[in-house]
Amino acid sequence: MGLTITEKILAAHAGVPSVRPGEIIDCRVDFVFANDITAPLAIQEFEKMGVARVFDPDRVAFVLDHYVPNKDIASANQCKITREFVRRHALPHFYDIGRAGIAHVLLAEEGFVGPGDVFIGADSHTCNHGALGAFATGVGSSDLAAAMALGRLWLRVPETVRYEFRGRLRPWVTGKDLILAVIGRIGVDGARYGAMEFAGETLRDLTMDERFSITNMAIEAGAKNGIMEPDERTLEWITPRARRPFTVVRSDPDAAYADVRTIDAGALEPVVAAPASPGNVVPVREAAGVRVDQCFIGTCTNGRIEDLRTAARILAGRTVHRDTRLLVIPATPAIYRQAMAEGLIQIFLEAGAAVSTSTCGPCIGGHMGVLAEGEVCVSTSSRNFVGRMGHKTAQVYLANAAVAAATAVTGHLTHPADVMGALVGA
Amino acid sequence: MVVRGAAHVVGHHIDTDVIIPARYLVTAEPAALAAHVFEDLDPSLRARLAPGDVLVAGENFGQGSSREHAPIAIKAAGIAAVVAISFARIFYRNAFNVGLPLLECREAHAGVREGDVLEVDFAAGTIRNITRGGALYQGQPIPAFMQRLVDAGGIVPYVRAQLGSR
Ligand code: SF4
């Protein structure tokens, strides 16, 4: 019996010829990182472990992306712990405000993760990197500390379910809609403990930006990792960026899957996840008309250049509705610069949007756009739990960037075609 | 290990955002986190928690973010064990790492009412409901590997031992 891409990568890193779902393995890790919220705890635990150095300074990164520029004294003190640790250990891969972006987008862009890697982050959306054909998963701070100390981590081998997307996407349907549609079908624990392997002809036409937004949200179905087999487009994207040699791994034709599910992607319409669960997925048209106080385009799910281009196409020559606020946050400085070079930032500013420096922004409701009691937000992020973006009665609809931009123009939840005309394709 | 305490029952898919909202993640101080535990789920819950109490939850407890602050907050609020139909995977690891023991059990959630006195036996994987005539709910004993981590005293001693054996 053959192995899935996830099993092959894990076997190679555990130094064994084969692994089986359910098995506990001790696994070599290629790269680890923590952010400004998870790093202080990881550092505290690391220091208790009585180890003088991290396993390999070249394979550790710290990215300050959540509460920077520091929003208050407490968050400044937290960041100071990380800043001092990095200096004390002379760690080369440290990203502070100005050079930092959202870790998941930044670390991929900077080439720290490649096909075939085992990539561990103290942040649940680390599964993002599976779009590159890597095994990537999120852990808590103590596990990250263990990986920082040992260069290894214990893992339970997940069983894999393969999701095959068929058909060509309709206008305004994106990778975000594909993953939301899957989560809507299987539920927020539909892939709990498992690996989600995404495949099928639909993916071939998707840019890497859209592919990342799919693997990014595997955690919203409870998965350990989301993964795609690398193709030419993957290699085109990673080759000029990769900092280390990488290995292209593919699933065996006779790999054992827990299940194979086919999704008719060509039949999908743009969707939203309505409050207050990423699994509460309905077509945009069914939720259309809801009055919206704030739209947010950004995050590790949809703050990439493709998302900004799509939003700009809708916002060009239009303005944000007077009763709605639009926040745009490019995920990394490189994306910000690219958006400037392409004139997208100009379009956003002329439309009346607020454009902020590259951070997580209001995604976790800490600063930069926190919602008031009862407010409604359409967000390109990945989570809409109670209290996630502000007051516990605030309501968050998760959507793609086109829906968020169209909604910002009309002030109520809107299908992009209703702003752009039905015949203008995405 | 056996834990005996009063039950507090919560629902399905309780996420880490309602366990401890991110707006409070500007500290890793257990007591400061415990002050806000479950605030957005039920503002009165925190005040009802007493040391040694048992939390009983439905499916997929702890879904969402990787914040280890979530099990830290629960533990610092006095909860001695969490029993759930199932746990989200990152929360599962984090809870054991911070010394908050978890038990998976299909039956307890439907049978237990707020305030019932429970006896949770981790080795046997059972929960006895003292209040309801000693009703017994069979759960999953802690997997052997997790038990070794617990026996080692958590992830820190586990790593120390690994480093020592090199
Ligand atoms: S953008 Fe949101 S989901 Fe992504 S890492 Fe930041 S807080 Fe987490």
Q: For residues A133 and A113, give the distance between their C-alpha atoms in angstroms, rounded to a whole number.
A: 10
Predicted ipTM of the assembly: 0.97
Query: How close A213 comes to chain B (CA, Å)?
Result: 16
| pLDDT at residue B160 tops 50 | yes
CB under 8 Å to B112, separation ≥6 — which residues?
B7, B9, B56, B118, B127, B129, B137
Taking CA–CA distances from B43, the nearest residue in chain A reads A392
Pairwise CB contact (< 8 Å): A143 & B94: yes
pLDDT tens figures, A9-34:
999 999 999 999 999 999 999 999 99
**Whether residue A382 has its Cβ less than 6 Å from ligand 1:** yes
B162 chain-A contacts, CB cut-off 8 A: 150, 152
Pairwise CB contact (< 8 Å): B97 & A78: no
Beta bridge partner(s), residue A281: A273
C-alpha pair distances (Å), A211 with each of A218, A310, B13:
12, 15, 27
pLDDT tens figures, A392-421:
999 999 999 999 999 999 999 999 999 998
Please report the pLDDT score of residue A264 as a whole number.
Answer: 98
pLDDT band at B150 (very low <50, low <70, confident <90, very high): confident
B96 chain-A contacts, CB cut-off 8 A: none
How far is ligand 1, taken at its centre, from the CA of residue A360, in Å? 5
pLDDT band at A425 (very low <50, low <70, confident <90, very high): very low
Taking CA–CA distances from B98, the nearest residue in chain A reads A142
For chain A, say whether B28 makes contact (Cβ under 8 Å). Answer: yes
The DSSP-derived string for B15-34 is: BHHHHS-GGGTT---HHHHH
Mutate to test the pocket of ligand 1, among A64, A67, A104, A176 (most ligand atoms within 8 A of CB): A104
**Whether residue A123 has its Cβ less than 6 Å from ligand 1:** yes
Question: What backbone phi and psi angles, to 5 degrees, belong to A2?
Answer: -80, 180
Buried b or exposed e, range A113-138, using 16+ CB within 10 angstroms: bbbbbbbbbbbbbbbbbbbbbbbbbb
| pLDDT at residue A327 tops 70 | yes
Q: What is the mean pLDDT of chain A?
A: 97
